[in-house]
A and B are shown apart, each in its own frame.
Chain A
C-alpha cells in the first residue's frame, strides 16, 4: 500500500500544528502555512484514497480508526470493522475525481477535504455523480510518525 500521503512533511508543518497546543478560538486564524499543509495533504490523500478503494479495497480500513464517523448516503457505519465489512461488500468500483478542495480546520491540525466526481459500480454502464467529504486528523497514537487518519467521511450520490 502506498502510504506516502500519510507522511506529514516536518518542514511544512508549522509549530502551531503541534498536537500539544490547543488552538485558541479567537486567535486561530489560518495562516498561509496551514493552508499549504492542507493543500499538500489533499494532493497526496485524494489520489491514494481512490486508488486503494478501486484496486486494493481490503486495505482501505487502514485509513480509518474505531473513532471514525462514517456516513454512506446517510447511513452511519460505526467502527472500523463495520465500515471495512461494508466497503468490501460493494461491487468493484472505478472512481473518477472531477475536483477536490481542502481547508485547515480549527481543531488540532485537522484538514477538511471535499471531493466531487463520478463512480461506476461493477458492470454498470452508467456512472453516478458523487461527492465525498473527509476530515483528516493527525494520529495522536503515533505523534512521532506525523500521520493522518480519516476521522469523518460523508459520502453521497448527487
Chain B
C-alpha cells in the first residue's frame, strides 16, 4: 500500500498547480459520485464541481500550502488529506487563509477525490 503522506503530498502539489494554471483540467480528479462543499455550497458530480471552480470570479490565483496532514482511511485504502494554506487572488497583496479537506479513494493505480470541503478561514 502506498504511503499516505507521499500520495497526499503528490496529490496536493498536482491539485494546486493545476488549479492555479488551468482549473478546467481538474475534471479528471473527480467522478460522478464526488462531492464538493465550497464555502457551504454543495455540488455533486465532476461536471458541476468543475463548473463551480472554473466559474469562480477571479482570473489569477496562487495557492501556497502551509500544512498537509494525511492518514489512511477505511478498509477501502482511502486517504484523508487536510490542507491549510494561503491564497492570493488577482492583484491583491493580502493573502487569505484557507482550509481544504480531500478524501481520496484508490482507482487502479491512481486516486480520485470523493469528498472535497473548502473554507476560507476568516479573521477574528
Chains A and B bind each other: yes
Residues of A at under 8 Å CB distance from B? 22, 25, 28-30, 35, 69, 71, 73-74, 98-99, 101-108, 110, 112, 114, 116, 118, 127, 129, 131, 133, 135, 137, 152, 154, 156, 158
Shortest Cβ distance from residue A101 to the other chain B in the assembled complex, whole angstroms: 4
Q: How far is the CA of A110 from the CA of B114 in the complex (A)?
A: 13
Contacts of A28 in B (CB 8 A): 33
A158 touches B84 (CB 8 A): yes
Known contacts A71-B71, A74-B69, A103-B37; A133/B82 CB under 8 A: yes
A101 touches B37 (CB 8 A): yes
Number of residues from B at the complex interface, CB < 8 A? 34
Tell me the B50-107 residues at the A interface (CB within 8 Å): 66-67, 69, 71-76, 78, 80, 82, 84, 97, 99, 101, 103, 105, 107
Contacts of A118 in B (CB 8 A): 124
Shortest Cβ distance from residue A23 to the other chain B in the assembled complex, whole angstroms: 8
Q: How far is the CA of A157 from the CA of B53 in the complex (A)?
A: 26
Q: Which of A25, A30, A73, A99 contacts B40 (CB 8 A)?
A: A99
Q: How far is the CA of A135 from the CA of B80 in the complex (A)?
A: 9
Known contacts A107-B75, A152-B80; A71/B33 CB under 8 A: no
Q: Which of A106, A116, A127 contacts B119 (CB 8 A)?
A: A116
A112 touches B74 (CB 8 A): no
A29 touches B40 (CB 8 A): no
B35 touches A103 (CB 8 A): yes
Contacts of A98 in B (CB 8 A): 121-122
Q: Offer 10 A-B interface pairs, CB within 8 angstroms, sorted by A.
A: A29-B33, A30-B33, A71-B69, A101-B117, A108-B74, A112-B80, A112-B103, A114-B99, A129-B97, A156-B67
Q: Is B13 an interface residue (CB 8 A)?
A: no
